[in-house]
Amino acid sequence: MKDFREFLLRGNLVETAVGIVIGLAFAAVVAAFVADLITPLIAALFGKPDFSNLSFTINGSRFLYGAFFNAVLSFVFVAAAVFYFVVKPMNALMERRRSELPVDVSTRPCPECLSEIPLAAHRCAFCTAEVAAA
């Protein structure tokens, strides 16, 4: 039981669960935004009162292409929101962080064999050539 409790309380598992719950809630909000605001706006432009109920029937089977269009719009809006509000800022942050970190150089290339040797070395460990201290 102790191992199971440790597994459940592990940081990555809890963070992943929180991320999934927030992601599902965000997707529900975007789906409602598309179904309640965007779809009626598009439907008003095309003269249909309820765009999400658009359908056609073939041999008694009803095809709800309006609902499918709502799902596609929801996906596009969720993907755009994730890209512009999560991916782009994280990429910019990582790029800024990568360039701000000081480079700690502890080796240099050997002038003879071009292998990496410590800065304080007076002789290359690979080709035994004498090198000047850096």
In this predicted model, what pLDDT tens digit does every residue of 91-109 receive, in sequence order?
Answer: 888 888 776 555 677 888 9
pLDDT at residue number 103: 63
pLDDT tens digits along 34-61: 778 877 787 778 776 566 677 889 998 8
- Rounded mean pLDDT of the chain? 81
Task: Report residue 118: phi and psi, to 5°.
Answer: -60, 155
Q: Is the pTM of this model over 0.75?
A: no
Listed by start position, the domains of the chain span 2-101, 107-134
Closest CA to 82 of 23, 126, 15, 18: 23
Give Dmax (Cα) for the chain.
Answer: 89
Hey, what are 93's tokens?
A: 């942050």
Considering the four listed CATH numbers 3.30.460.10, 1.10.3210.10, 1.10.1200.120, 3.40.50.10950, the one that applies to the domain covering 2-101 is 1.10.1200.120
